[in-house]
A and B are shown apart, each in its own frame.
Chain A
Amino acid sequence: MKQFLSFVKKEFFHIFRDKRTLFILLGMPIAQIIIFGFALTNEVKNAKIAILDHSKDASTASLITEIESSRYFEIAESLHSDADIQTAFHKGIVKMVMVLPSNFGNNLKHFNKAQVQLIADASDPNVANQLVNYASAIIRDYQKRITNNRQLPYTINTEIRMLYNPQMKGSYNFVPGVMAMVLLLVCTMMTAITIVKEKETGTMEILLVSPVKPMRIVIAKAIPYLLLSTINIFTILLLSVFVLEVPINGSLILLLAVSILFILVSLSLGLLISAGADTQQTAMFISLIALFLPTVMLSGFMFPIENMPTPLRVVSNIVPAKWYYNIVKTVMIKGLGVTAIWKELLILSGMLMFFLSLAIKKFKIRLA
């Protein structure tokens, strides 16, 4: 035991004396949360639009005020003719143009029917879609208000509730994603690199010619990273609760427990990589290509898995981060308990067993 502790102590010395790496390890989650939280967001806020109002009456004025006062839009330009629409898009500033035909107010009052045209710049289809949806919703609200007093013969009211994330915040989606990414990077890549480093500098040679059980060497190396990752989880959770206002709806204990399970899976993957790699560079490349990319692409955090072609959907099942991402979303955002995530837990535990036993089997007790 004393032997083991001295090993762990030595690992901590390595980590604390390499200030740059330590800084990266602890700073990475903060940087990622901030980048994803404030810069890389796919929510549409204050999109610049232009209005072409042919009618210029009381009704159009109040509709335009409605649009302007929403947090989604900012009116950048008022156009005067149909020809201006082309020019406005060519300049590339506005993303959408709302055209109100002449006699808008008149038609609305006397014929109970008026038209609005929405022209969106669909070079980015997602943004165009969102803008059109937001604008339609505002127009619907406006219409509802003015028809409030009158009884219409047939109406279907769609009552929409956005469960778990009523404000549709993107951060609800990426906090779990960043957690998966950071844990995987720290645990897998760093453990793989430190073990391979011992091989590269020749210290592994001396360690092997000692009474220490080879597996102990490796486990002792993993422990500091387990601790660092736990610190990282806390940083991410604190930032997400207090800075991004993403609540932890479920049990914190359960969330931590599943995170530790995922950390263990990542650590065992790191061990597995270290068994196969001979240089730190190889270890890093394998970690990045075989783990980091699939985590970003196939965990469902950047791109929805449901939209992928079948082969990719099948492949996504072997990405541990996908299951962890699901768990975090279920526990943290939806606030559900163990019963909702037993399947994911089982899969992750299975992966842990598999990777760990493979790593132990592959660990070399000799040099070659």
Chain B
Amino acid sequence: MKRFFSFLCFAFLLSCVERIDFPVGEPEEIVVVDGTFSASNGEKTIRLSRTMQVNRQVDLPIEGANVFVEDDQGLQISYSETQPGVYKTDGIADTERQYRLYAELPDGRTISSNYQSVPDSFSIEEITTLDTLTTFLNENGNDQRLRALEFFAKAKNTNVENDLFLRFRYETVYQVLETKCGPFHNPKACYFYNDERAFAINLIEIDSDASEVEFETLVLRRKIDYKLTEIFALDLSLLSYNKEEYDYWKNLKNLFDQEGNINDVNPARLLGNVKSNDGTEILGQFAVVGESRKIKIVGNADFPTQRLPFCGVAGNLPWPLPDECCSCEGLKGASLLKPDYWP
């Protein structure tokens, strides 16, 4: 009898969620803009690419474009193409002026965004970590309890004059140091940038009614493995947006939050703030942001009882020793480019 009722109730309440094949056509290769500009020091990046087939994850960069940021008085700051589709500048925004993107594409079209003012920035006071036990989804789609390191960002602003629309963005880097594999072998380090795609969009809205604001929020959770236990860096930025550009990220978060229950908001085509001169559709966003940045580095000393680095430590090497410990370029995603903040 219990099984009979179980069967019925499963049919009613648990219903059925199954993975399906949903037919998709060929991509239209629409131009995508992805970039920011701010008043902070350091490089600013604009990426130009095209849309790709769903789940192909093949980057289709647009090379050979002329990319500028223009202020409201006509001053142009040019970007240089450093990699296919990646355009960078060291220019710094003047907080008294407004800026827009202007670019000439190789196909002859020009694209431009709206003019945006430079929002107030919000300082990251510090980044703290917490070693904890939590649940991860493994590759088979099953829950797994693992030790994890949680990174918390504490931010503070004592003079909030306007509404603030904030988003945390981060980059990660970890190091793998080779082992001395022979008398003539000079061990070098390889660096691995952004090995995991960002999954959650972290947004915060602050009312201007509160003159002093302080908050702490979780920005990243990583399971503790060899990637953390050598040298791992979290390069965290807190970006403040203008309302329109912030709404773009809110809408994107809505798309990401689909759970498949009856409460899901209807998805829609995400439109950005860039237009082309011939009226064709341009996707993505160019945003002028206020920016603050903080870097948190953790290493072996923080995990005395945890997993060892990939190539172990002196006196405690893995056996058998992986080939990549003698030549770390063999590891997927390895780069020899060392971040300028590296210890």
Say whether A and B bind each other. Answer: no
Binding site for A on B (CB under 8 A): none
- On A, residues with C-beta under 8 Å from B are none
